[in-house]
Amino acid sequence: MSEVVEGREALALLERTREIVDPRLRAALGSLPGAVRRVALYHFGWENADGSPSAGSAGKAIRPALVLAATDAFGGDPAAAAAAAAAVELVHNFSLLHDDVIDEDPTRRHRPTAWTVFGTPDAIVVGDALLALAYRLLAEDGHPAAPAAAERIANCVIELCAGQQADCAFEERAPEEVSLEECLTMATAKTGALLGCACAVGALYAGAGPDETAALDSFGREAGLAFQLIDDLIGIWGDPGRTGKPAGADLAAHKKSLPVVAALGSGTPAAAELARLYRGHMSPAAVALAADAVDRAGGRDWAQLQASERMARAVYELSRAVPDLAAAGDLLALAEFVTRRSR
Amino acid sequence: MSEVVEGREALALLERTREIVDPRLRAALGSLPGAVRRVALYHFGWENADGSPSAGSAGKAIRPALVLAATDAFGGDPAAAAAAAAAVELVHNFSLLHDDVIDEDPTRRHRPTAWTVFGTPDAIVVGDALLALAYRLLAEDGHPAAPAAAERIANCVIELCAGQQADCAFEERAPEEVSLEECLTMATAKTGALLGCACAVGALYAGAGPDETAALDSFGREAGLAFQLIDDLIGIWGDPGRTGKPAGADLAAHKKSLPVVAALGSGTPAAAELARLYRGHMSPAAVALAADAVDRAGGRDWAQLQASERMARAVYELSRAVPDLAAAGDLLALAEFVTRRSR
């Protein structure tokens, strides 16, 4: 299968997912009380701040697509997992609303973040409401797998919280005080956990057993970590494609991304140089020097190797859970799509 | 039954509730990841900020006591509802953590609030984690009523969010623009909904039918609103007992409490005087004038009458759900305790 075909396949999957899940999401958001609903619809890109309809995008729907593809891979009916897929997307958006408040991010999906438009209190309570709404969807679903899915999602949310908490705590510490191990655990919690949970929930909705469900969770987690590593590389050296952030963005923001932490822990002269640069203001010249130092300290090679290894592990876990490659094809296409954003 | 005996009975109920629910809560909080756990244990008053054990109080446990008393009232086994009672207490504490961030409250239960000690990001994510933990307890519970309880709690959290959102929105509006109806809806959502939900969850755990469960929800809501009205009166004229806030506290803070909004909407000369006072700085002299204006505008009488009426409705709903007064005794004692805090 060529790369171009794989990319197209993933886009078609995401499109089909939107057709199945969006009506559920719109109905769920529509059930929220007025002022809460308005903020939620703005955040999803379906309304402007003044309440008029917006053609904006509600995100790529990767997580619900993973739910449906996992159900399909185990011979289940994806349509029967629509509420669960919508619940996972609500959890994702709850975490985005709160993360944007915590990180004081001004933009999300090319629009001002909800907290900048409606204020921090509204962004907090509407995030809370989306999390509760996810549980309402599961409670109302009536599918035999819904209780197990609710339990997995609860554990995943706790892991997301721990990841976000660790991320904030790292910001307070000097770069050389954060170990690579802590950083990998944090990235797994923040990025891998919900992708793994989405896959596991889909498996549960097809009646998959505990081993298969656990393997599919690992598949999502490893693919998520591969994505994070590649995203971190793009944050330093830029996107080889056309959609990513500009080169050096993460360095300019003093971000302790995985390649940076790997470089700082290398014990090389380049690590000491990088630590010194990170203590000061990151001018464009300093950013260029820091990128070079990360490279010379081995951070770039390490991240690229890790990303490949994580992706290989993801494929291995997928093959354990779903030995028939034809059945696993959609999940593989989504994982490839997530980790190669330039397509 | 004399008031003193009723008060003692409620205190004994709260004590027994703590014995049943605290071990569950401690085990649940103990399962949280390290840094998240630390903030949670601080918030519950079980640890100091440095992680050393604290003899502090984790609150009065009114809501879990209502769960257990409701289960008991319908002939169920309160011990079987322990996880549900712990879940309701976790939801209460999730909302306290977020409300303290939103309202920028510096103290809670005579200690610095979590956000002032650990920062706003930690208070947000730990609140999120407590909500997820509530759902984990219900998902793991295995009781046949757990899914229905999870659904009720999800709806209640959405109502809590709407109430908090409305409260913030009212702050932005001029006092005379907020209608009494809106204010009552907000108070019901913020204070009544979770008390009603606690009662309803307890009823579900005893296998009560939809009508009885709905009546018990109304009992808790009406008692909650009675409590809020009395709390608002105390916020203006002080606590006749010894435990409440100082007289005038809510007026000094320009709070649009129920007696104030009722007074402002009265169309009396005193209403105009109150509106004028509320537009300026509230000096001690202005606070005294404002309290007098609320009284002359009828806000005090209205609130006292409303509180009595709400309590009467609560008792009526309770008698519909549990006709045997002996069986309803504990719920009644808790409602009386909540609404007469001076004992």
Q: Which residues in chain A touch residue B147, judged by CB atoms under 8 angstroms apart? A: 139, 146-147
Instruction: Answer whether A119 sits within 8 Å of B168, measured CB to CB.
Output: yes
With CA atoms as reference, the chain A residue closest to B126 would be A161
Q: Which residues in chain B touch residue A127, judged by CB atoms under 8 angstroms apart? A: 128
Q: Are A289 and A269 in contact (CB under 8 A)?
A: no
Task: Report the pLDDT value the prediction gives residue B6, as an integer from 0 to 100.
Answer: 56
Quick check: A199 pLDDT over 90? yes
Quick check: B244 pLDDT over 60? no
Per-residue pLDDT, averaged over B235-259, amounts to 81
Out of A5-9, A105-109, B134-138, the most confident range is: B134-138
With CA atoms as reference, the chain B residue closest to A172 would be B119
Q: Which two tokens stand for residue B215?
A: 């009546």
CB atoms within 10 A of CB B214: 17
Task: Report the pLDDT value the prediction gives residue B254, as an integer from 0 to 100.
Answer: 86
Per-residue pLDDT, averaged over A87-106, amounts to 96
Instruction: Answer whether B150 sits within 8 Å of A135, measured CB to CB.
Output: yes
Quick check: A272 pLDDT over 50? yes
Tell me how many helices (H) and strands (E) chain B has.
16, 2
Q: Are B132 and A157 in contact (CB under 8 A)?
A: yes
B301 compared with A250, residue with greater pLDDT = B301
pLDDT, one tens digit per residue, over B103-161 is 999 998 889 999 999 999 999 999 999 999 999 999 999 899 999 999 999 999 999 99
Grade residue B250 by pLDDT with cuts at 50, 70 and 90.
Answer: confident
Task: Report the pLDDT value the prediction gives residue A342, as an integer from 0 to 100.
Answer: 39
Say if strands B111-112 and B107-108 run parallel, antiparallel, or are unpaired: antiparallel
Task: Report the pLDDT value the prediction gives residue B151, as an integer from 0 to 100.
Answer: 96
Instruction: Answer whether B161 sits within 8 Å of A128, measured CB to CB.
Output: yes
| Angstroms from A256 CA to nearest CA on chain B | 18
Task: Report the pLDDT value the prediction gives residue B141, as an integer from 0 to 100.
Answer: 94
pLDDT, one tens digit per residue, over A205-262 is 999 999 999 999 999 999 999 999 999 999 899 876 655 567 888 898 888 899 999 9
User: What is the predicted ipTM?
Assistant: 0.92
Task: Report the pLDDT value the prediction gives residue A170, as an integer from 0 to 100.
Answer: 87
Q: Which residues in chain A touch residue B155, judged by CB atoms under 8 angstroms apart? A: 132, 136
Instruction: Answer whether A35 sits within 8 Å of B155, measured CB to CB.
Output: no
Instruction: Answer whether A126 sits within 8 Å of B165, measured CB to CB.
Output: yes
Per-residue pLDDT, averaged over B294-316, amounts to 96
Query: What mean pLDDT is reported for chain A?
Result: 92
Quick check: A3 pLDDT over 70? no
Q: Which two tokens stand for residue A247?
A: 């080169």
Q: Which residues in chain A touch residue B36, judged by CB atoms under 8 angstroms apart? A: 158, 161-162, 165
Grade residue B71 by pLDDT with cuts at 50, 70 and 90.
Answer: very high
Query: What mean pLDDT is reported for chain B?
Result: 92
Grade residue A341 by pLDDT with cuts at 50, 70 and 90.
Answer: low
Quick check: B170 pLDDT over 90? no
Q: Which residues in chain B touch residue A158, judged by CB atoms under 8 angstroms apart? A: 32-33, 36, 129, 132-133, 136
- Amino acid (one-letter) located at B13: L
Q: Are A233 and A79 in contact (CB under 8 A)?
A: no
Nearest to B165 among A120, A122, A136 (CB): A122
Task: Report the pLDDT value the prediction gives residue B341, as an integer from 0 to 100.
Answer: 53
| Three-state DSSP class for residue B53 | strand
What SS3 string covers chain A?
CCHHHHHHHHHHHHHHHHHHHHHHHHHHHHCCCHHHHHHHHHHCCCECCCCCECCCCCCCCHHHHHHHHHHHHCCCCHHHHHHHHHHHHHHHHHHHHHHHHHHCCCEECCEECHHHHHCHHHHHHHHHHHHHHHHHHHHHHCCCCHHHHHHHHHHHHHHHHHHHHHHHHHHHCCHHHCCHHHHHHHHHHHHHHHHHHHHHHHHHHCCCCHHHHHHHHHHHHHHHHHHHHHHHHHHHHCCCCCCCCCCCHHHHCCCCCHHHHHHHCCCCHHHHHHHHHHCCCCCHHHHHHHHHHHHHCCHHHHHHHHHHHHHHHHHHHHHHHCCCHHHHHHHHHHHHHHHCCCC
Give the integer Cα–Cα distance in Å for B200 and B155.
Answer: 12
| Three-state DSSP class for residue B59 | coil
